[in-house]
């Protein structure tokens, strides 16, 4: 069991002198972006990307701390000095956090259900699911509690089965028919399915949501953090074209999602100044 505040991943920590400014990074076990246990520990997408970012900021002493989602929510509102990697930016969060430029872009939330669920007979040949239509059906939807969801999902949270992000296996909930579908990142669900019992899943985009969403570094609001965010933005100018950083962005994605993100990067002014992405050896869990 990990203890809150413990040092993690020795190779991930850039140690400077005792006088160096400290950046406290709080992460949680949320495969496949952060993997804190097992043989793949430290190999998650955000694990690798954060490691590359810390190496690009040698002027700081970096400390990694484990936290649960609930702890992170509390820290955000208690003005405790901290930084987070891979956070969604919302107007509400901007009241107590300051955000960097985008550090990555990921496929957006989708409808995910068992591949053999009868719902697919009604959804067949659709390229996206209309949420208004979906919410009018009798199927039981599932989401994780204490998460930030975009509109109109956020307005319907009380209608969903809400489960703990740390104590509930979403795949097992679908397998046991405790819920008909989950609104989640499809790549995360495919990873969970393949590392549990290999349950076959199917996913479909949600109409009205963009295909991809950007994530950021966020730090608590302070003058010190303001300087840290400025340093992060400067480091990102080079990191976005770092082969290992770019490969980590794609490493855990399904082939379909990888194609989507590669196309996005090819068209994005932030990512398109380079034409070659380092080849990905041994894609995880595919």
Q: Could you read off the pLDDT of 74-83 as tens digits, one per residue?
A: 776 676 789 9
Please give the pLDDT value at position 77. 65
Please give the pLDDT value at position 285. 43
Cα–Cα distances in angstroms (integers) from residue 97 to residues 32, 34, 89, 260, in the given order: 25, 21, 9, 29
Query: Is pLDDT at 9 greater than 80 in this prediction?
Result: no
Q: Could you read off the pLDDT of 44-102 as tens digits, one per residue?
A: 999 999 999 999 999 999 999 998 877 776 776 676 789 999 999 999 889 989 999 99
Query: Is pLDDT at 235 greater than 90 in this prediction?
Result: yes
pTM: 0.86
CB 27 within 8 A of CB 67: yes
Query: Is pLDDT at 249 greater than 70 in this prediction?
Result: yes
Q: Tokens 């793949």 belong to which residue?
A: 40
Q: Report CA torsion sign: 196, 202, 150, 33.
A: positive
Query: Is pLDDT at 10 greater than 60 in this prediction?
Result: no
Please give the pLDDT value at position 76. 64
Q: How far apart are CA 131 and CA 48, in angstroms?
A: 34
Average pLDDT, the chain: 86
């Amino acid at each position: 069991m990990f203890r809150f505040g413990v040092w993690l991943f020795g190779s991930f920590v850039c140690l400077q002198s005792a006088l160096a400014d400290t950046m406290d990074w709080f992460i949680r076990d949320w495969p496949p972006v952060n993997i804190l246990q097992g043989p793949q520990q430290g190999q998650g997408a955000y694990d690798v990307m954060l490691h590359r970012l810390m190496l690009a900021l040698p002027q700081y002493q970096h400390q990694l701390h484990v936290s649960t989602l609930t702890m992170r929510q509390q820290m955000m509102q208690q003005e405790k000095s901290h930084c987070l990697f891979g956070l969604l930016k919302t107007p509400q969060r901007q009241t107590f956090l300051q955000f960097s430029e985008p550090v990555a872009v990921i496929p957006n939330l989708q409808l995910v259900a068992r591949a053999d669920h009868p719902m697919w007979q009604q959804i067949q040949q659709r390229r996206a699911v209309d949420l208004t239509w979906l919410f009018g059906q009798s199927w039981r939807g599932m989401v994780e509690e204490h998460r930030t969801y975009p509109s109109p999902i956020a307005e319907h949270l009380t209608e969903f089965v809400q489960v703990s992000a740390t104590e509930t296996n979403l795949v097992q909930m679908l397998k046991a028919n405790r819920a008909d579908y989950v609104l989640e990142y499809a790549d995360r669900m495919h990873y969970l399915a393949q590392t549990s019992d290999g349950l076959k899943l199917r996913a479909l985009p949600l109409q009205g949501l963009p295909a991809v969403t950007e994530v950021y570094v966020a730090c608590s609001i302070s003058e010190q953090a303001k300087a840290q965010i400025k340093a992060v933005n400067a480091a990102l100018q080079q990191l976005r074209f770092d082969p290992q950083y770019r490969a980590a962005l794609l490493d855990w994605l399904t082939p379909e999602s990888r194609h989507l993100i590669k196309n996005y990067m090819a068209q994005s002014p932030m990512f398109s100044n380079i034409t070659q992405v380092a080849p990905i050896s041994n894609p995880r869990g595919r």
